[in-house]
Structure 1
Amino acid sequence: MGRSNVFLTEIEHELAICYNDMSCLENMHCSKLFQILAKHECNLFSELNEVIYSHIRHIIVDSIIATDFAQHGGMVKEFESMYGVNAELFDTADEMYMNTEEFPPRELMEYFKTPDVKKTLRTVLLHFADISNPMKPFPVAERWAELVLKEFALQGEEEKALGIPVGPLNDKKTVSLPLSQIGFIEFVVAPLALAMARVLPPVWFTNQMIIDNANIWMDKWIEDTLLKPSLEEQVQVRERIHRMVQKTEQRGFTATLAQMEN
Structure 2
Amino acid sequence: WQFDTWKLREASRGHPLSTLGYYLIQRAGLVQRFKINPVTLARLLRHIEAGYPDNPYHNATHAADVLQTLHVIIHGARLHVHYLDQLGLLAAYFAAIIHDYGHPGVTNDFLIATSDPLAVRYNDRSPLENHHAAAAFSVLRRPELDVTAPLPQPDRTAFRKQVIDLVLATDMKQHFAVLAHFNTHAGKSHLLSNTYPQTSHPSNPNLGTLQIAIKAADLGHLGEELEVHKRWLSHLEEEFFRQGDRERELGLPMSPLFDRSKQGVGKSQVG
Pairwise TM-score range, normalised by the shorter structure: 0.5 to 0.7
Query: How far apart are residue 74 of structure 1 and its match?
Result: 2.3
Q: Which residue of 1 aligns with 2:121?
A: 18
Asked if the contact 2:244–2:259 (Cα under 8 Å) also holds between the matched residues in 1, the reply is yes
Of 92, 96, 107, 1:4 maps to 107
- Residues 112 and 173 (structure 1), Cα distance of their counterparts in 2 relative to 1, 3 Å cut: farther
Task: Quote the offset at 1:164 in angstroms.
Answer: 0.8
**In structure 2, distance between residues paired with 1:41 and 1:119:** 30
Q: Is 1:116 aligned with 2:219? A: no
Quote the residue 1:157 is aligned against. Answer: 245
Return the TM-score normalized by structure 1: 0.57
For 1:73-98, what per-residue CA distance to the aligned partner results, in whole angstroms no more than 9, with x for missing partners?
22333444456x68xx99xxxxxxxx
- Higher helix proportion, which one? 1
Shift of 1:35: 1.2
Q: Aligned pair 1:178/2:266, yes or no? A: yes
CA distance in 1, matches of 2:258, 2:183: 31
Tell me, in whole angstroms, the C-alpha distance in 1 between the residues paired with 2:128 and 2:171.
8
Tell me if structure 1 keeps the 8 A contact 2:182–2:209: no
Which of the residues 4, 19, 43 maps onto 2:146?
A: 43
Give the equivalent residue in structure 1 for 2:135: 32
**Judging changes above 3 Å, is the alpha-carbon distance between structure 1 residues 175 and 82 closer, same or farther for their aligned structure 2 residues?**
farther
Q: How does 1:133-152 map to 2 (within 5 A)?
A: 133-152=221-240
Identity among equivalent positions (%) equals 27
The reply to whether residue 169 of structure 1 matches residue 257 of structure 2 is yes
Q: Per-residue deviation at 1:49?
A: 1.5
Instruction: Indicate if the aligned counterparts of 2:185 and 2:208 stay in contact, CA closer than 8 A.
Output: no
Partner AA of 1:168 in structure 2? P
TM-score (norm 2): 0.56
Corresponding letter in the other structure for 2:142? K
| Superposition CA RMSD, Å | 2.4
Distance 1:107 1:116 in 2: 11
**Residue in structure 2 matched with residue 242 of structure 1 by the alignment:** none
Residue deviations 1:112-132 (CA, integer Å, cap 9, x gap): 878433110111111110112
Task: State the 1:179 CA deviation.
Answer: 2.6
Unaligned runs of at least 5 residues, structure 1 = 91-105, 187-262
Higher relative contact order (CA 8 A, sep 6+): 2
How do 1:194-213 and structure 2 match up within 5 A? none
Q: Which runs of 5+ in 2 are unaligned?
A: 1-103
CA 1:3–1:111 in 2, change beyond 3 Å: closer, same or farther? farther
Native 8 Å contact 2:118 2:131 kept in 1: yes
Please identify, of 30-39 and 153-162, the stretch whose mean Cα deviation from structure 2 is larger: 30-39
Return the index of the structure with the highest Cα Rg.
1
Q: Is the 8 A contact 1:112 1:118 kept in 2?
A: no
Structure 2 CA distance, aligned partners of 1:54 and 1:178? Answer: 45
Looking at structure 2, the residues matched to 112 and 6 of structure 1 have their Cα atoms a distance apart, in angstroms, of: 40
- Work out whether residues 152 and 170 of structure 1, in 8 Å CA contact, stay in contact via their aligned partners in 2: yes
What do the CA deviations read for 1:120-176 (whole angstroms, capped 9, x no partner)? 011111111011221111111111111101000000000011011111010122231
Aligned with 1:117: secondary structure? coil
